[in-house]
Amino acid sequence: MSKAIDRFVAAAAELGVELRVTRYPTGTRTARDAAAAVGCELAQIVKSLVFVAGGRVVVVLVSGADRVDTDLLATAAGAADARQARAEEVADATGFAVGGVPPFGHAHNLDTFLDRRLLGFEEVWAAAGTPDACFPIAPGDLARLAGASVVDVAQ
Ligand code: 5CA
């Protein structure tokens, strides 16, 4: 396993969960790649996106089929505005590179929002630290482990 996956799995273990991480030789860098590799619907892939809302770095967990509406996110975060983070901001805040950012277990404790549409699936798949690794989880468990606020931020 890679160091990034090890770090994420260790963070999950500290939260009391044992994750089932699979690595895919075809890659899972984008939600589309991940859905093809896993063999699930695009909508069942969790995108773990980093935004800067009112100067604060936050994580948004949203379905692979959806885009985040930054106005809705700003409102949810109680901020005047929100923009997507740059790649280096993502790496600094989470400790993981774009394409492999997991939904929790980040280098810093970041406020996290989970879009409500994810709760409509029995199981979703999220990145596990690298652009070739994913794990399945029930969305309710994901919200709990990520300490996420459930919000409506999908466009
Ligand atoms: N492993 C997959 C599926 S779980 C994954 O991580 N998908 S993702 O959507 O969460 O991560 C890719 C996202 O990173 C893209 O949707 C895009 O919003 C963002 N991104 C891509 N390139 C950059 C970049 N150069 N800077 C900042 N964000 C980027």
In the chain, what percentage of residues exceed pLDDT 90? 99
Cα(88) to ligand 1 centroid in Å equals: 12
Whose CA is closest to 130, among 103, 97, 108?
97
> For position 70, what pLDDT does the model report?
98
* Per-residue model confidence as pLDDT tens digits over 30-67: 999 999 999 999 999 999 999 999 999 999 999 999 99
> For position 91, what pLDDT does the model report?
98
Cα(141) to ligand 1 centroid in Å equals: 22
Q: Whose CA is nearest to atom 18 of ligand 1?
A: 49
Burial environment of residue 16 by CB neighbours within 10 A (0 to 12, 13 to 18, 19 or more): exposed
Burial environment of residue 14 by CB neighbours within 10 A (0 to 12, 13 to 18, 19 or more): exposed
Q: What is the pTM of this model?
A: 0.97
Cα(145) to ligand 1 centroid in Å equals: 21
* Per-residue model confidence as pLDDT tens digits over 105-142: 999 999 999 999 999 999 999 999 999 999 999 999 99
Ligand 1, residue 89: give the atom nearest the CA.
27
Q: Residues lining ligand 1, CB < 6 A?
A: 28-31, 34, 45-49, 86-87, 90, 98-101, 126-127, 131, 134
Cα(127) to ligand 1 centroid in Å equals: 10
> For position 61, what pLDDT does the model report?
98
Q: Is the pLDDT of residue 89 over 80?
A: yes
> For position 155, what pLDDT does the model report?
95
Give the C-alpha separation, 149 to 60, whole Å: 10
Whose CA is closest to 126, among 145, 151, 109?
145
Q: Is the pLDDT of residue 1 over 80?
A: no
Give 81's pLDDT tier (boundaries 50, 70, 90): very high
Q: What is the mean pLDDT of residues 87-116?
A: 98
Q: Is the dihedral of CA 57, 81, 49, 139 positive or negative?
A: positive
Cα(30) to ligand 1 centroid in Å equals: 6
Give the C-alpha separation, 32 to 89, whole Å: 23
Amino acid type, 102 = P
Which residues, at least 6 apart from 59, have a Cβ–Cβ distance to it below 8 Å? 48, 49, 50, 51, 94, 101, 103, 106, 110, 111, 112, 113, 146
Q: Whose CA is nearest to atom 24 of ligand 1?
A: 87
Give the C-alpha separation, 58 to 90, whole Å: 10
Q: Whose CA is nearest to atom 28 of ligand 1?
A: 87
Q: Mean pLDDT score of the chain, rounded to an integer?
A: 97
